[in-house]
Structures are given as structure tokens and as C-alpha cells.
Structure 1
Amino acid sequence: MIEMCAIASGSNGNCYYVGNGDEAVLVDAGISRRQVLERMAQRNLNPAKVKAILISHEHADHFRGVRVLSKNLNVPVYITQKSYDKSWGPNRPDQVILFQPGEDIKVGGLLIHSFLKNHDAAEPCSFRIENNGLNVGVFTDIGAPCDNVTSQLAQCQALFLESNYDEDMLWAGSYPQHLKTRVAGDKGHLSNAQAFDLLKQHHHPDLKVVFLSHLSGENNRPEVAADAFKSLLTCFEIKVTNRYAVGEVYTIE
């Protein structure tokens, strides 16, 4: 079995739990230690099962809480050298294990497949987490889908997939032009439409559930994102993560 939970998901902070019942990893730590532990307690997730924290890249909404959280849990933080070098020094954790993009990481019974993606960070990675042939992908902060993303998606039974913005809301919104251009660029974020097209073209019969993730507070709404994917509901479950609260614990066996 493999279980998953969005502890936090949005441009205001990200943290994802993936485990096999005995051990787990967290992907990113963009909220405080207190928030992570409180939200895990709300879903009866035991922090003692967390054996590592994986950092996708150095931006604050994925990194700001990692130093205190890793110290509290006494677990190592896996991060690439370039991401570590570009990170804000006071947030850098004490227990660091460096990995190369594309390297597989073994944490107990979990096998983590790392891969590069398109984003405006030093060395941005996403992860596919495997347990006994069951796979959960955590794919956020993707400006444009690349071959790495599509090939890894093909192996996932569950997926946290970025659906950051609605294009009309972004271009009509209050962001300055340079920020709109950055968000919509090939190294920015996936829109609802881009994420839909990715899934429409590359979903497969083994894909059971997709969690729409990393929604913008300014340029998206949960109901807008959900509506964009409704034609795929006959193919797999679609759920929307919450920017302000922990999600459900979802299990695949």
C-alpha cells in the first residue's frame, strides 16, 4: 500500500506526505514546523514515521520551514547541491544529504525517483515515490511539461499535479506585467489548461487519482480548477488541494 496527504499545497506553502504505513517522507517544507505537526495530527499521521524530507527547489514556499522541521524530527534533508547553494542561509538544515537530479534515493522501503523539470530555480526537481510497485508523483512548479514529466507520469497511480492559475484570471488580474510573464513562462507554473492538456494526452488506465495542487490565491479558485478537469472524471478521480488546510489521507493498495 501507499498513502498520501497534502499537508500544505499552494503558492503560500507546500508540504506533501507519502508513506507505506511504516515509514514516510515529506516532499518540501514551505510552512512552519508547528503547522506541519498540527496538520499531521489532524489526520492521525505519526511524525515518528517520517524518515526524510525531500526538497524540490530552494524557493521559500517549499523551503522556509525545513531547518526547524528536520531538527525537530531528527531526519535528513535531501537536496541538490545547486539548490542548497542558492537557498537562504538561515533556513538551511543541519542534516543534509546531497543528491544528483535523476538519482534514485532509498528511504526504508520507499524508492524515490528524482528528475529535473522546467522552473526558474537553480536545479528544480520533482519526485516519483514508489512502494512495492505503487507510485505517487509530486509534480509542481512546472513551467512547461518536458519528457521527464511525461515519462514519470506514465508510471504513477496517484499524482499531485500543479494547476496553478486560470489564464483569464492571471492576465486580467493585479499582478505586475513582469510577474504575469514569469508565471506563464516556460519556467514558471502550469495553468489549469496546461495541466488538463498534459493529463488528457498522457493519462493511462493505472492512474487512479489526481490532486490538483499548488493553486494560486490570486489567479485561481478551487471551483475554477475543478471545472477545468470535469471531462476527465470518467478516467480517474480528481480532487483539489486546499491552500489553507490539510487534505485527506488517500490510500492505494
Structure 2
Amino acid sequence: MPLFITSLNSGSNGNCYYVGNEREAVLIDAGISCRETETRMRRLGLSMETVKAIFVSHEHSDHIRGISQLAKKYQFPVFITPGTLRSSGLSELRLPIQPLRGHEPVWIGELCITAFPKLHDAADPHSFLITCLDTRVGVFTDIGSPCTQLIDHFSQCHAAFLEANYDEQMLERGRYPYYLKHRIRGGKGHLSNQQALHLLRTHKPAFMSHLLLAHVSKENNCPNLIRELFTPHMESTELIVASRFEETPVYQIDAPRVIRSVA
């Protein structure tokens, strides 16, 4: 069964990723307003009735800003780890909270969502692998460095949202103060273009059909630079640079069919 994916917004001004099949879907983070989420989904021909839950990666405001409005209006369950919940302030808002734990699959209809820990400067940050039958999609952003768990999950994906936050030279020469530069590149901040490219070149499976590069810095990166850097290494995988200003198209992700000979 295919999965349908889109980035509704990606960047420090708000992050929200949609993954679903024809009957049910989930939002990974909700860092833009309820109204903007509704508007962008409507433009894409997606229905809010299909969304069944919100999964929270960590407590930073660009990932949770829209959760309260969305969860209250639509009564979406919010899956969040206890550590992230304590640090987010969401526990005070009487939302339909559901506990989330790393490596424990959560089933939403035929969707299976599995969280796993990542390296980021937050209370209890997690990335996600979403599967439907044999089709696998990863959401891998806000990562300080590519740990073995990220590598293992990335190498299984038919499509992935992967952070390519900053160009190392642009960050070094840019106007950010030293402490912020250190936070970004210090191992628990964000992935650089070169780190993401190395992951792609060494661990991208041959069957990956789409790669959406995400959480691109406005100050320290450039979409054209990313395309120039990554395109020679994509082979048959389609490259998309997710925008901080608008939604991407909806992409259909299908696991390749394996044809077995009959003796």
C-alpha cells in the first residue's frame, strides 16, 4: 500500500510533516498554526479528517507551536514522550496526550509509527519511521550527528525527510555569534550539508525513490547550493528541497514489488 507524504513547512519558523495512506495519516510535529495547516492541506487536496494523530519529536517551539489549536479543534491524540511533555508546557493545556516511548511501535490504523532517540539539544528528542505494510518513510531532522540508529533507519527507507541545515562555510562566515555557531555544529544541534551528503552517499538504499531535504537554514544555507551539491549523487532518487515558506507537492511512495519465480 502506498504512502503519501508532504512537508507542510520546514525550517526554524515552523515544521510540520504529513505521512499517510488513503484512509489515515499522521502529522509529525505541528510548528505552524492550525489555520495555516488547514490552508496548506486544503491546497494539496488533503482532508483533515484523514489525520488521526500528532507525533512530537521534541519541545522546541518551531515543532509544537500549532499543537494546542489543532489538538483541541480536532481532538487529535498527541503522542509525546514523558520527558518532552515535561519540557513543552503542553501538559497544562488539557490536551488528549498519549505516551510515546522509543522503539515501541504505535499503530494508527494500518500505519505503524516507531520513534527512536536522536542527538539534539532537547529534553528527550526522537526521530520517526512510519511504515505501512512494506513501505517505509523516515522523518530525520534536528539531528546533531548521524548516529548508528539514524544510519540503520535511513538505510531502510523508500523515502525520507532528512535535515540539511547549514553550509559549513556560510555558517563560519555568517553573522551568528560564536555560541550559536557552536550550538548548531556542536554535535547536538543540526546536520550540515556535508553530513547529510555523506549519509546519502554511504547509506542510501537503491530503492529510495524520494529524498526531501529539510530544515534548511535561512541564514546559513541556500536551496540552489544544496541542489548543486546533492544532484550528482541522487541516481534514481528524486531530490526535493522542502521550503520554509510553503508546502511541497504530495508524493506517492511505493515499495518496489518483488516478483518471485515459481519453480
Q: Please indicate the TM-score interval, normalised by the length of the shorter structure.
A: over 0.9
Match of residue 82 from structure 2? 81
Deviation, structure 1 residue 234: 1.6
Match of residue 20 from structure 1? 21
Match of residue 232 from structure 2? 231
Tell me: CA distance 1:57–1:91, structure 2 relative to 1, closer, same or farther (3 Å).
farther
Count residues in correspondence: 253
The SS at the match of 2:137 is strand
Match of residue 33 from structure 2? 32
How do 1:130-209 and structure 2 match up within 5 A?
Answer: 130-209=131-210
Q: Is the 8 A contact 1:66 1:92 kept in 2?
A: no
Deviation, structure 1 residue 92: 4.8
Q: Is the 8 A contact 1:162 1:214 kept in 2?
A: yes
Match of residue 118 from structure 2? 117
Match of residue 215 from structure 1? 216
Q: Is the 8 A contact 1:77 1:93 kept in 2?
A: no
Find the aligned partners of 2:17 and 2:66 in 1 and give their Cα distance: 13
Deviation, structure 1 residue 226: 1.3
Deviation, structure 1 residue 88: 3.1
Tell me: CA distance 1:107–1:9, structure 2 relative to 1, closer, same or farther (3 Å).
same
Deviation, structure 1 residue 113: 1.3
Deviation, structure 1 residue 93: 5.7
The SS at the match of 1:5 is strand
Deviation, structure 1 residue 235: 4.1
Find the aligned partners of 2:236 and 2:173 in 1 and give their Cα distance: 32
Tell me: CA distance 1:40–1:180, structure 2 relative to 1, closer, same or farther (3 Å).
same
The SS at the match of 2:221 is coil
Structure 1 unaligned spans of 5+: none
Q: How high is the TM-score relative to the length of structure 1? A: 0.97
CA RMSD of aligned residues (A): 1.2
The SS at the match of 1:224 is helix
- More deviation, 235-244/183-192: 235-244
Q: Deviations over 1:45-90 (max 9, x none)?
A: 0000000000000000101110111111211000000000011358
Q: Is the 8 A contact 1:65 1:91 kept in 2?
A: no
Q: Deviations over 1:22-42 (max 9, x none)?
A: 110000011110110000001
Match of residue 246 from structure 1? 247
Q: Is the 8 A contact 2:167 2:194 kept in 1?
A: yes
Q: Give the aligned residue type for 1:211.
A: L
Tell me: CA distance 1:43–1:228, structure 2 relative to 1, closer, same or farther (3 Å).
same
Q: Which protein shows a greater Rg?
A: 2
Find the aligned partners of 1:37 and 1:196 in 2 and give their Cα distance: 33
The SS at the match of 2:107 is strand
Q: Which runs of 4+ in 1 moved over 6 A?
A: none
Deviation, structure 1 residue 123: 0.5
Q: Is the 8 A contact 1:10 1:215 kept in 2?
A: yes
Deviation, structure 1 residue 99: 1.4
Find the aligned partners of 1:233 and 1:128 in 2 and give their Cα distance: 21
Q: Is the 8 A contact 1:129 1:135 kept in 2?
A: yes
Find the aligned partners of 1:72 and 1:140 in 2 and give their Cα distance: 27
Q: Deviations over 1:150-198 (max 9, x none)?
A: 1111211000000001111111111110000000111000011110001
Q: Give the aligned residue type for 2:218.
A: G
2:74 is the alignment partner of 1:56: no
Sequence identity (%): 44
- More deviation, 74-83/221-230: 221-230
The SS at the match of 1:52 is strand
Tell me: CA distance 1:234–1:91, structure 2 relative to 1, closer, same or farther (3 Å).
farther
Q: How high is the TM-score relative to the length of structure 2? A: 0.94
Find the aligned partners of 1:14 and 1:101 in 2 and give their Cα distance: 21
- More deviation, 21-30/216-225: 216-225
Structure 2 unaligned spans of 5+: 255-263
